[in-house]
Amino acid sequence: MLGWRDFHRMKAREIAVQAGLVLLVLVIVIGSVRSAQVNLATLGITSGFSFLDRSTGWSYSFSLLERSIDDPYARTLLIGFLNTVFVGSISIVLATILGFVIGTMRDNRNIGLQVISSVYIQIFRNIPLILQVVFLYALLIHFPGPRQAYSISDTVFMSNRGIMMPVLSLPLGAVAGVVLGSVLLGIGAARHAGSTRRALAVWLAGTVVLFVAAAILLTPDGRDLVSYPELKGLRFVGGLTLSVELVAMIVGIVLYGAAYIGEVVRGGLAEVPRGLREAGESLGLGAFAVWWTIRVPMALRSIIPPLGNQWIFIMKATTVGVAIGFSDLFYIVSTSITQSGQTLELIAILMGAFLLVNFALAQAVNWLNARLALKGYGS
């Protein structure tokens, strides 16, 4: 291998090859810029990011923040980005949990658990994700209307408008604050609590306390602590509504992702030497203790790298939302392109956003990996 300072050691032909490649890249870049200028001029589009301040004038299905159709493009794009990160993170967490359950079932001796988890993986892994999401969406929008909604003891309702459930009447800012506090608490507990069990206990208790405190202190005056969904005329009022698009997206991505993560987990568990498990058993540990304190910690080292790839895959998979009209970043960007014509700028924003998110995820996985590495093994 040659480094950048070794040019004097290369043969003329090698230098020519490299110069040719540089030239080719330059020709492509300059040619693209030139013809972009010509083509944009014919279309009458001024390039630049000034369109971000214009208001959009169109609406979309889902947003975490307050929104109106007068929002500027910048805010609409931010909402799309938040939606992508929101659905992506929830799906990552749920798919990882379900994946560990499926993978452990596959690994279990019991034949009933093995068969059912294999059937699960065979079905959900071998059908394209987009088909599963579209199918789920079609099923959900064919649910009965709000008046005939299925209900669980009249507090949770399922209709063709989505799932309605009771919720704390906290303003969004307070919820975000509690979630942030809980994450920080989790990190702090993981660092200082010593054992996993104690860290989990501190984190769970702390989060509950945070939620209760926020509910008591921050609920707006004159409103109940908990808001329940109620049928008023043709629609539900109050409570939290999970829209059909959101449910189809999350359920679809989680079921699909969990099938892959399940295989990763099973592979990781299978690599743990049998002797370790037998040692645990002969110490008198129960089945759960052997799994939780010996096999999972050992397996994590081979699980984390492919698991990280699955997380990045899930984040990228949120783009299928466009097939069912869920307003993820890709949907917002493609609608913005048809509405405003600022194709190049919007695509650059889309790519930049995904590079950023995936880079952050990859860093998080590397950090996890480094933390879990056994001292004295490998690098």
Binding site for other proteins (CB under 8 A): 1-4, 6, 10, 14, 17-18, 21-22, 25, 31-32, 35-36, 38-40, 109-113, 115-116, 119, 122-123, 126-132, 134-135, 138-139, 142, 312, 316-317, 319-320, 322-323, 330, 334, 337, 343-344, 347, 350-351, 354-355, 358-359
Which residue, 41 or 225, has its beta carbon nearer to other proteins? 41
**In the complex, least distance from residue 234 CB atom to other proteins, rounded to whole angstroms:** 22
Q: Which two tokens stand for residue 110?
A: 């019991």
87, 247 in Cβ contact below 8 A? no
The residue written with tokens 């649910």 in the block is 143
Q: How far is the CB of 102 from other proteins (least distance, A)?
A: 13
H-helix segments, the chain: 12-43, 73-107, 111-125, 129-141, 172-192, 196-218, 244-271, 274-282, 287-289, 296-317, 329-340, 343-372
Q: What is d(CA 333, CA 80) in angstroms, rounded to the nearest whole number? A: 8
- If the CB atoms of residues 129 and 265 are measured against other proteins, the closer one turns out to be 129
Choice between 67 and 125, CB closer to other proteins: 125
Report in angstroms the alpha-carbon separations of 174 from 185, 214, 240.
Answer: 16, 7, 16
Residue 248, classified by CB atoms within 10 Å of its CB into exposed (0-12), middle (13-18) or buried (19+), is buried
Q: Which is nearer to other proteins, 229 or 321 (CB)?
A: 321
- Structure tokens of 357? 């998110």
Asked if residues 305 and 268 have their Cβ atoms less than 8 Å apart, the reply is no
Rounded Cα distance between 106 and 117, Å, is 6
* Cβ nearer to other proteins, comparing 132 with 169: 132
Query: Min. distance of Cβ 14 from other proteins in angstroms?
Result: 6
Name the nearest CA neighbour of 91 among 298, 301, 319: 319
User: Given the complex with other proteins, which of 10 and 187 has the nearer CB atom?
Assistant: 10
The DSSP result for 158-185, as a single string, is: EETTEEEE-EE---HHHHHHHHHHHHHH
In the complex, least distance from residue 195 CB atom to other proteins, rounded to whole angstroms: 28
C-beta of 236 vs 313, nearer to other proteins: 313
Locate 185 and state its tokens. Answer: 């608490």
Residue of 159, 135, 160, 121 lying closest to 255 (CA atoms): 121
Nearer to other proteins, 131 or 225 (CB): 131
Give least dist CB 65 to other proteins, A.
23
Minimum distance from CB of 105 to other proteins (Å)? 9
As measured in angstroms, the least distance from the Cβ of 212 to other proteins is: 37
Cβ 312 to other proteins, closest distance in Å?
8
> Residue 130 carries which DSSP code?
H
DSSP string, 100-124: HHHHHHHHSS-HHHHHHHHHHHHHH
Handedness of CA 251, 253, 254, 258 (dihedral sign): positive
Q: Which is nearer to other proteins, 119 or 208 (CB)?
A: 119
- How many CB atoms are closer than 10 A to CB 41? 11
In the bound state with other proteins, the residue whose beta carbon lies nearer, of 227 and 358, is 358
CA 121 to chain centre: 20
CB of 340 to other proteins, least distance (A): 13
**Please, what is the minimum distance in Å from the beta carbon of residue 272 to other proteins?**
18
